Amino acid sequence: MTTTAYNRIAGQSLERISALSDGVFAVAMTLLVLDLHAPAAEAIHSEGDLQQKLLPLLPRLLAYLMSFLTLGIFWVGQQTQLNHFERANRNLAWIHLGFLFAVTLLPFTTSLLAEFIELRTPLVLYWLNVVLLGAMLAGSWLYASRFGLVKKDAPANMNRMVLGRIAVAQSLYAFAMLLCLFSTYLSIGFIVLIQLNYAIAPRSSKLLRY
C-alpha cells in the first residue's frame, strides 16, 4: 500500500479520537489536583496553626479551580464538535492530537502560575496555553467544514455558533490578560468569571448567544 493510499484510510475513527481525548482530559484534570498538598501533620498543633498553613494554599486552590474550569469548557467544546462530525481523516486526527498536546501542557502552566501567582510571565504563558487550545479547536472546525466532514444535518448556523463562541471567549481572555498590567489577581479573577459564565450558561448572558 502506498503512502498516499494509507493516508486516505488513516485516522478515520471519531470514536478513537473521542476515547483518547477523554483519557487525556481525565489525566490532566487529575494532575491538577496533585499540585495541592496538605500541611504536614507534625507542624500542626492547633486550629490556628492549621489556618496559618492553609492560607498559602489559596493561590494554588484558585489556580486549580481556574484550570479545572478551563479543561471542562474545552472538553465540552471538543465533544460538541466531534458529535457533529460525520467522519474523521488523518489530518483531522492530527489536529486533535495538537489540541490534546495543549491539554497536557495545562497542568504545567497551572503549577507555574500557582507558584509565581504575582508575576506576569507565568500568567502570560498560561494565557498562551489557552490561546493554543482555542486555536486548535477553531482549526478543527474550519478543516472539517472545508473538507466535508461535518454532518449534513448539522444546524445551518453551526459555523457561526462554534467559531463565534471561540472568538468571543478568546477576546475575553485577551482582555483579562491586559488586566494583569494592574494586578495578576484581577486578571485571574476575571478569567474565573468568564469561565463560570460559560460553565453555568445563564440564559440572560449575552456572551452565550454564540
Residue with cell 469548557: 73
Helix (H, G, I), strand (E, B) or coil at 13: coil
Give the pLDDT confidence score for residue 208 in this predicted structure.
Answer: 46
Return the number of other C-beta atoms located less than 10 Å from residue 48's C-beta.
9
Give the pLDDT confidence score for residue 202 in this predicted structure.
Answer: 59
Taking a C-beta distance cutoff of 8 angstroms, is the pair 149, 195 a contact? no
The parent domain of residue 118 ranges over: 3-208
**Among 64, 66, 136, CA closest to 100:** 136
Give the pLDDT confidence score for residue 207 in this predicted structure.
Answer: 47
Residues with Cβ < 8 Å from 150, sequence gap 6 or more? 84, 85, 86, 144, 158
Measured CA to CA, the distance from residue 70 to residue 48 in angstroms comes to 34
Residue with cell 453555568: 200
pTM of the entire predicted model: 0.86
Measured CA to CA, the distance from residue 14 to residue 19 in angstroms comes to 9
Residues making up the chain, counted from first to last: 210
Q: Is residue 89 within a helix (H) or strand (E), and if so which, with residue range? A: none
Low-confidence residues in the chain, pLDDT < 70: 1-12, 36-43, 45, 48-54, 56, 202-210
Give the pLDDT confidence score for residue 101 in this predicted structure.
Answer: 97
Query: Max Cα separation, the chain?
Result: 71
First and final C-alpha spacing in the chain: 44
Please list, residue by residue across 169-205, b when 16 or more beta carbons sit within 10 angstroms of its beta carbon and e when fewer do. Answer: bbebbeebbebbeeebeebbebbbebbebbeeeeeee
CA dist 159 to 81, 124, 166, 171, 194, Å?
10, 29, 11, 18, 22
| Structural domain count, the chain | 1
